[in-house]
């Protein structure tokens, strides 16, 4: 049995959880999110706790036990507090501007040293906030927030010689030394 999977998930006030036909639906103050459950797992809701139980003790089911417990925990956490990733732009002339598309979606215009600006349009449920040269990606789905931040970072990942590029706020870029000039004595 998984150590993580055994732990109950507490449901805070203001959050409603419905389990129907192997789908769990979580509604909270920030929105609603759902997850299709694996058929080898059983979900039970008692008072203000959710328990995830494995139907068998095979290795695959034990691995899914802890995974689905954390996925359900992230659903609850997302509708209560939400998730965010912070990105920083490092480089001379690197900047970002925010705007909206014609259909109302949020858009980032990134100037990253290319000959053209790059437009990045947010998916449904993802929000952008700008603070100087920092981008904050936020939303209620942890996977979508992380995936969106990774796609923005992939537009210009930090390079190891000067450290220019887009990086996570807590990321450390170890710089490599440049080419060393070897002096030889004249013969």
Same-domain pairing of 164 and 92: yes
Q: How far apart are CA 130 and CA 108, in angstroms?
A: 10
65-102 burial string, b = 16+ CB within 10 Å, else e? bbbbbbbbbbbbbbbbebbebbbbbbbeebebeeeeee
pTM: 0.86
Q: How far apart are CA 52 and CA 44, in angstroms?
A: 7
HSE-CB at 76 with a 13 A cutoff on CA atoms is 19
In a domain, 179, yes or no: no
Q: Give me the pLDDT at residue 186, please.
A: 66
Same-domain pairing of 66 and 134: no
What CATH number has the domain bearing residue 36? 3.90.930.12
- Structural domain containing residue 20: 3-80
Same-domain pairing of 17 and 70: yes
Least confident stretch, 48-62, 75-89, 156-170? 48-62
Same-domain pairing of 102 and 45: no
pLDDT tens column, 120-179 = 999 988 999 999 889 999 999 999 999 999 999 999 999 999 989 999 999 898 988 888
pLDDT tens column, 86-126 = 999 999 989 999 998 888 889 999 999 999 999 999 998 89
In a domain, 133, yes or no: yes
Closest to 38 measured CA to CA, from 61, 58, 20:
61
């Amino acid at each position: 049995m998984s150590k993580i999977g055994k732990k109950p998930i507490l449901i805070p006030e203001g959050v409603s959880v419905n389990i129907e036909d192997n789908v769990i639906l979580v509604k909270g103050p920030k929105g609603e999110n759902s997850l299709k459950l694996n058929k080898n797992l059983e979900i039970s809701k008692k008072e203000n706790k959710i328990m995830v139980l494995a139907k068998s003790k095979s290795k695959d089911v034990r691995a899914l036990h802890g995974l689905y417990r954390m996925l359900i925990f992230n659903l609850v956490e997302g509708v209560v507090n939400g998730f965010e990733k912070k990105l920083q732009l490092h480089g001379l002339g690197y900047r970002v501007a925010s705007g909206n598309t014609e259909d109302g979606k949020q858009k980032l215009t990134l100037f990253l040293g290319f000959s053209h600006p790059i437009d990045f349009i947010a998916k449904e449920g993802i929000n952008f906030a700008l603070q100087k040269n920092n981008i904050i990606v936020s939303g209620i789905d942890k996977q979508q927030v992380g995936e969106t931040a990774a796609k923005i970072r992939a537009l210009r990942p930090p390079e190891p010689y000067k450290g220019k590029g887009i990086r996570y706020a807590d990321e450390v870029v170890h710089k490599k030394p440049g080419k060393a000039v070897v002096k030889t004595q004249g013969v």
